[in-house]
């Protein structure tokens, strides 16, 4: 009791609250979870939403790597500045976290929160790796004819800036086995974390877009989620979803994208960007185009030649280093200033080797109502 009183007084009187908050906000989550036991004042401070937000903005960006293992399971590793390129990166055992799914899709992160989806088991959960919390999501069952086969799923994940509520967008495309073609309806489901409920949209096929690539070819910024898509005329556009009003919008993409190039959506210099490159050339030149104003694209830089590029993924470390997946199945960091590359020590198939940048978060997934409901739009 004496120790608790001393630490409490130190937090209240010995140092200003602002200084204490600033110091604690720079510490890793692992330390903060221990420091909650120091005294009641520290516990209450670390639990406040303002501190959680401040801490998330202060801590360093890390990398989460998902790749396929030989035993038909996906491994998830965490890379920091200290273990980049290490032969023994830090792995997260999902079973030890109580997550009984083998995620083939990882969506996010948003404020350090991921959504994991296991298509084979048709199961989904939200996961905070920093504090080892997860929250199962009950999935809706759709009444579909027996001749409709398993869907192709594409996802989006973000925050409604008006309510600070987390939302998940699930685009589901089905196949009509009788017609041997796409099913007439594309289903869009929106999950609301606050109400723990799904909202259902059904979009006629002639009004929908085909999402080209569910593995990384999408991004989120400021309450809007973006996908690079093709329409039925094989033209590129950007499909966006506003998480506040829950409406879809089309944005014009680069007219400079010929069919010989490939475009990947990313974030660059606080803007939506498209990374362009020639996938069939030995020496690949990569271009970065950013949308500083809606519908207007400006070339930011050209890099190259860069050898052994399969696909660029996105930027890490204040847009100075580009993540690249190589033809030989490696994952490398390419510094756009020094032109040096760094092997991350991961190998895998193209569709099973994914990298996500994230920051640790104290956001708890155990809050909120556990009831489940279905709302028809």
Per residue in 121-162, pLDDT tens?
Answer: 788 889 888 888 888 898 888 888 888 887 677 899 999 999
Identify whether the C-beta of residue 358 lies closer than 8 Å to the C-beta of residue 61: yes
d(CA 265, CA 323): 13
Residue 205 in this model has a pLDDT that exceeds 70 = no
Whether the per-residue pLDDT at 314 is higher than 50: the answer is yes
pLDDT for residue 377? 35
363 is written with which tokens?
A: 């956001």
More confident residue, 22 or 370: 22
**Which pLDDT does position 119 carry in this prediction?**
80
Hey, which of 25-39, 102-116, 225-239, 345-359 has the most confident mean pLDDT? 25-39
For the segment 224-237, the average pLDDT, to the nearest whole number, is 74
The partner residues of 124 in beta bridges, in order of sequence, read 117, 137
Give mean pLDDT, residues 302-317.
Answer: 77
Q: Residues 170, 188: contact at Cβ < 8 Å? A: yes
Q: Which one, of 370, 317, 362, 356, lies nearest residue 340 by Cα?
A: 317
Euclidean distance between CA atoms 46 and 184, whole angstroms = 50
What pLDDT sits at residue 190? 94
Q: Lowest mean pLDDT: which of 12-16, 193-197, 272-276, 282-286?
A: 12-16
Q: Which residues pair with 332 in a beta bridge?
A: 324, 343
Q: Is the pLDDT of residue 9 over 60?
A: no
pLDDT of amino acid 239 = 84
For 194, the 3-state DSSP assignment is: coil
pLDDT of residue 244: 94
Report CA torsion sign: 223, 227, 228, 234.
Answer: negative
| Predicted confidence (pLDDT) at residue 24 exceeds the cutoff of 60 | yes
What is the predicted pLDDT for the residue at 169? 93
> Residue 83: its pLDDT value, please?
54
The backbone region for 71, taken as left when phi is positive above 0, alpha when psi lies in -120 to 50, beta otherwise, is: alpha
The model's pTM is 0.81
Burial 61-95 (b: 16+ CB within 10 A, else e): ebbbbbbbeeeeebbbbbbeeebbeeeebeebebe
Mean pLDDT of the chain: 76
The pLDDT tens digits of the residues spanning 239-275 come to 889 999 998 888 877 665 555 566 778 888 888 888 8
- Percent of the chain whose pLDDT exceeds 90: 9
Query: What is the rounded CA–CA span in Å between residue 15 and residue 181?
Result: 68
Q: CA–CA separation, 11 vs 163, rounded Å? A: 32
Tokens coding 332:
């490398």
Rg of the Cα atoms in the chain: 22
Q: Which residue has the higher pLDDT, 372 or 140?
A: 140
Nearest to 345 by CA among 74, 90, 84: 84
Between 257 and 26, whose confidence is greater? 26
Token reading at 70: 């030989």
| pLDDT per position as a tens digit, 64-110 | 777 666 555 666 766 665 555 554 445 555 666 566 667 778 888 88
- Confidence class of residue 49 from pLDDT cuts 50, 70 and 90? confident
- Predicted confidence at residue 221, as pLDDT, reads 92
Q: Hey, which residues does 303 pair with through a beta bridge?
A: 286
Query: 374 pLDDT band (50/70/90 cuts)?
Result: very low
261: nearest Cα among 237, 238, 287: 287
Residues 6+ apart with CB under 8 A from 103: 66, 74, 76, 94, 116, 117, 118
Amino acid 32: pLDDT: 92
Q: Summarize pLDDT for 10-21 with one digit per residue, the tens.
A: 445 545 788 888
DSSP 3-state percent helix, strand, coil across the chain (nearest 5): 15, 50, 40
Query: Of 8-12, 115-119, 163-167, 356-360, which range is least confident?
Result: 8-12
Measured between alpha carbons, how far is 359 from 353 in angstroms, rounded to an integer? 20
């Amino acid at each position: 009791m004496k120790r608790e009183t001393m630490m409490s007084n130190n937090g209240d009187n010995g140092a200003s609250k602002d200084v204490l908050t600033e110091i604690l906000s720079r510490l890793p989550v692992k330390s903060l979870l221990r420091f909650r036991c120091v005294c009641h004042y520290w516990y209450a401070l670390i639990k406040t939403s303002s501190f959680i937000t401040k801490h998330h903005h202060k801590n360093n960006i890390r990398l989460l790597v998902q790749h396929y293992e030989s035993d038909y399971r996906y491994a998830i590793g965490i890379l920091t500045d200290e273990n980049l390129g290490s032969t023994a990166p830090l792995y997260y055992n999902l079973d030890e976290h109580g997550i009984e799914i083998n995620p083939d899709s990882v969506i996010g992160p948003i404020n350090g929160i991921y959504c994991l989806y296991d298509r084979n088991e048709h199961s989904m959960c939200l996961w905070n790796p920093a504090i080892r919390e997860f929250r199962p999501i009950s999935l809706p069952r759709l009444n579909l004819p027996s001749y409709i086969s398993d869907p192709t799923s594409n996802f989006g994940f973000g925050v409604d800036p008006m309510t600070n509520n987390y939302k998940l967008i699930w685009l589901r495309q089905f196949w009509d086995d009788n017609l041997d073609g796409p099913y007439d309806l594309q289903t869009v489901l929106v999950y609301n974390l606050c109400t723990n409920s799904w909202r259902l949209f059904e979009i006629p096929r002639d009004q929908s877009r085909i999402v080209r690539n569910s593995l990384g070819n999408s991004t989120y910024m400021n309450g809007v989620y973006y996908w690079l898509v093709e329409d039925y005329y094989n033209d590129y556009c950007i499909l966006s979803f506003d998480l506040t009003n829950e409406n879809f919008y089309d944005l014009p993409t680069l007219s400079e994208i010929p069919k010989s190039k490939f475009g990947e959506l990313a974030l660059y210099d606080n803007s939506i960007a498209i990374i362009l490159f020639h996938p069939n050339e030995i020496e690949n030149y990569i271009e970065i185009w950013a949308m500083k104003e809606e519908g207007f694209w400006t070339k930011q830089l050209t890099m190259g030649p860069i050898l052994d590029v399969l696909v660029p993924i996105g930027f890490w470390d204040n847009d100075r280093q580009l993540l690249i997946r190589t033809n030989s199945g490696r994952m490398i960091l390419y510094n756009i200033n020094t032109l040096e590359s760094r092997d991350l020590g991961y190998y895998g198939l193209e569709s099973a080797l994914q990298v996500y940048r994230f920051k640790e978060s104290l956001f708890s997934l155990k809050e909120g109502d556990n009831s489940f409901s279905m709302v028809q739009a």
